[in-house]
Structure 1
Amino acid sequence: MTRILTTTALALSMAMPAAALDLGSMSDADRAALHQEIRNYLLENPEVIMEAVAVLEQRQQQDQVNADQELVDTHSAAIFNDDHSWVGGNPEGDITVVEFLDYRCGYCKRAYNDVKQLLEKDGNIRFVVKEFPILGEASMLASRFAIATKLEAGDDAYETLHDALMAFNGDITEPALKRLASSFGLDADAILARMDDAAVSEAIAQNHALGGVLQITGTPTFVMGDQMVRGYVPLEGMEQIVAELRKE
């Protein structure tokens, strides 16, 4: 009902001059007559409502884009250059893509191959992973293990484990993570021992705090240049966004 009233008002503003909407100067009889005229007009021209809905949605979308760009600009240092997130792709790339992800998120797993192809095909994109576990204890366990891997064994080991976790479809448990790390020749016991390090907790806390100010409520969420992309985007869509960013 609220949306109908809003779009009706918008339709009227499109169809009538501002002076005609000064209801305060009208008598009750004039106001009732105007209401009847409006009703008749809308019944005879219902397409106006649909046009108004389209205009309203377009305005709301643009307002969201503008708000997101302001958020990205305000928090750019934390988004693009923190001291704990893994950086892949081309570290000197002209476009930076940041992904907030959860290893148990189906759409993150779906986006994984698209992101990988984007980085391989383009070759000039800097990619930043933000560990953003929001889907329960298993998600938190996976992120802690991944960050601990980075701290204990370095960036290459993190990348290997990250790729494996994105492809992993079983239950995420400590024994499963230990087997996974051991399969790559990593010291799983040493990694497990670091999962509760203050640095691991701080990295996740900072990412959650940043997600809060950026109003991120789901994964995957991407920041591409100055744009925030909320949700899964196929390869073609990401390529189009990158191309548009390069034109700016």
Structure 2
Amino acid sequence: MTRIARLPAPALPVLSAAALSLGLMIAPAASALDLGKMSAEERAAFGAEVRAYLLENPEVILEAVSKLEQQQAADEAARDDALVAENMTALHDDGFSWVGGNPEGDITLVEFMDYRCGYCRRAAPEVEKLVSGDGNIRLIIKEFPILGEASVLTSRFAIATKMVAGDEAYKMVHDALITLGGEPNEGTLRRLAEGLGLDADAILARMSDPEIARQLQETRALAQQLAISGTPTFVLGDELLRGYLPADQMEIMVAEIRENRS
């Protein structure tokens, strides 16, 4: 999945377009398509011919719907590309998001994620497989808790860990939180930190730092700019990818990006 094609709504405009195109083929004269100049009997006859043709050739409707879906997908892709271009600096260099993989990599993968999101959990090993297997991808994690207080709590804990103990500790906590079972609370997080050999007291105390709230708000504002409302959402190179992707699909996209650059 590189783009999500949204179904058109409602179907009436599609049918109207198909009927108009059909009218161009079956009307005896162009003037006959001016429904305002037709009598009631002529309009009824025209409608009956259109209906009969569509019933005999229903594939015309499917073709029209398919064409509309393709156009909508292309329009959405163009909008997403423009949004990414406008926000590239914030995506790649906000000054606080964790950067891993190969910091000097030739391709950047940005992930907006939530620790309580099932699809984020499913995506985590795929992202790890892609980044570690490639060796030349820079990974940026955007903490984007949108699934309630438990999401906010775990993101605050992860960011506090980074502030107190640095990037390596953040990565350990990130990996632990993405697989953490049950509802997290202070006791759970304390045990997690202690199990990783971290200073639990310092991390828990730092969670109320206003800087963490600022970072979360800045990431939320960026997501709004990009019209991101769900997780995971990725930006691979300059392409916005909404939803879960397996590693093999991302590998294909990475190869295409490099090929297009050469």
User: TM-score, normalized by length of structure 2?
Assistant: 0.89
1:39 to 33, 51, 73: 51
**Paired letter, 1:50:** L
**Paired letter, 1:117:** K
SS in structure 2 at match of 1:3? coil
SS in structure 2 at match of 1:98? strand
Per-residue deviation, residues 112-148 of structure 1 (Å, max 9, x unmatched):
0000000011111111000000011011000000001
**Alignment partner, residue 202 of structure 1:** 214
- Matching of residue 135 in structure 1 with residue 147 in structure 2: yes
2:65 to 53, 56, 65: 53
**Alignment partner, residue 187 of structure 1:** 199
Runs of 5+ consecutive residues of structure 2 not aligned to the other structure:
1-7
SS in structure 1 at match of 2:111? strand
Q: Structure 1 residues 22 and 188 mapped into 2: Cα distance closer, same or farther (>3 Å)?
A: farther
**Alignment partner, residue 110 of structure 2:** 98
- Matching of residue 176 in structure 1 with residue 183 in structure 2: no
1:5 to 12, 17, 22: 12
The more displaced of 130-139 and 206-215 is 206-215
Runs of 5+ consecutive residues of structure 1 not aligned to the other structure:
none
The 8 Å contact of residues 126 and 246 in structure 2, kept in 1 or not, is answered as yes
**Structure 1 residue 29: deviation in Å?**
3.6
Q: Distance in 2 between matches of 1:160 and 1:167?
A: 11
Q: Structure 1 residues 63 and 114 mapped into 2: Cα distance closer, same or farther (>3 Å)?
A: same
Q: Structure 1 residues 14 and 225 mapped into 2: Cα distance closer, same or farther (>3 Å)?
A: farther
**Alignment partner, residue 222 of structure 1:** 234
SS in structure 2 at match of 1:246? helix
Number of aligned pairs? 248
**Paired letter, 2:220:** H
Q: Distance in 2 between matches of 1:224 and 1:135?
A: 24
Runs of 4 or more consecutive aligned structure 1 residues displaced over 6 Å after TM superposition: none
Q: Distance in 2 between matches of 1:138 and 1:120?
A: 29
2:120 to 99, 108, 121: 108
Q: Distance in 1 between matches of 2:9 and 2:172?
A: 50
The 8 Å contact of residues 22 and 50 in structure 2, kept in 1 or not, is answered as no
**Paired letter, 1:194:** R
The 8 Å contact of residues 115 and 154 in structure 2, kept in 1 or not, is answered as yes
Q: Distance in 1 between matches of 2:254 and 2:22?
A: 39
User: TM-score, normalized by length of structure 1?
Assistant: 0.94
Q: Distance in 2 between matches of 1:103 and 1:154?
A: 19
**Structure 1 residue 225: deviation in Å?**
1.3
The more displaced of 4-13 and 111-120 is 4-13
**Structure 1 residue 24: deviation in Å?**
4.2
Q: Distance in 2 between matches of 1:220 and 1:23?
A: 50
**Structure 1 residue 15: deviation in Å?**
4.3
SS in structure 1 at match of 2:11? helix
**Structure 1 residue 221: deviation in Å?**
0.6
